Amino acid sequence: MKSKVIYILWLALMFGGAVNAQLNDYKYIIVPKKFEEFRSENQYQTSTLIKYYFEENGFNAIYDDEMPVDLAADKCLGLTADLIDESTMFSTKLSIALIDCKNQEVFRSQEAKNRIKEYKEAYRDAIQNTFVSFTGLNYAYEPKEEVEEPATIVVSFLDDVKSVKEESTEHVLEQKATTEEQVYKSIEPKPTDIVRETSPSIAEEHVDLPEGMLYAQPIANGYQLVDSTPKVLLRLESTSMDKVFITTYQGNNAVVFEKDGKWLMEYSDNGQKVQKELQIKF
């Protein structure tokens, strides 16, 4: 009997450690202000209580309409709390599931139930009891190590070879080969009838955005912003949220969004939050 109890305790410790390591991969817990089961926001104080108890257990809980810049840019940094309500006419029965960015359930709490008649008190009691599953996990966010991608080599043929004399048995070519530019051209180029297609130039990584109007041109999965030149300054990638885009500005992940009729770009520069107002015409 004693060995059986020890075995059960060992299994509990092993399971708790595995869950802890799994949850440590996520920086945020996203708490909806309105759960599907309810008609109104924060009904019976469900959202308030769930956010409070997550914070009490060491998690960084935020409401779904108050996402920080890094989470808006990468939804996989967070887990969304889902209230599983299987209450009946005679009892309240709840559990809390955590869902990742791929809509997969990562963790589910124990089920809590009671027969309290007053709804607000019944939900408060049940939610509090579900959090027994989170007590003692010693959660601490552990960022994943970023794998450094190999440097991209850009090859541009600025002066393409237009023709080569077939009669020549030996061709003398001038060659440049660097990671920035690779050019081959004949020392004695011949005239050509080829007309190159003109297109907006692509902005350099550290371009400064002008204060004037930027024009949004539709591209796959978003827009590109060009000035009057036209020169492409930013590429905006659509998100699941209306009028919220992600982009890259001066080597930083950034979010472009509309607020109070104005378009703003927000990013983090050396740990400081920076906002720029943009004039965008869609």
Q: d(Cα 66, Cα 68) in Å, to the nearest integer?
A: 7
Note the pLDDT tens digit of each residue in 120-150: 999 999 999 999 999 878 899 988 766 455 5
* Per-domain boundaries in the chain: 2-133, 149-196, 201-281
Any idea which fold 2-133 has? Rossmann fold (3.40.50)
69: nearest Cα among 243, 281, 275: 275
100: nearest Cα among 162, 172, 165, 22: 22
Q: d(Cα 198, Cα 219) in Å, to the nearest integer?
A: 18
Q: What is the pTM of this model?
A: 0.50
pLDDT of residue 93: 95
**pLDDT-wise least confident of 14-23, 28-37, 85-94, 193-202:** 193-202
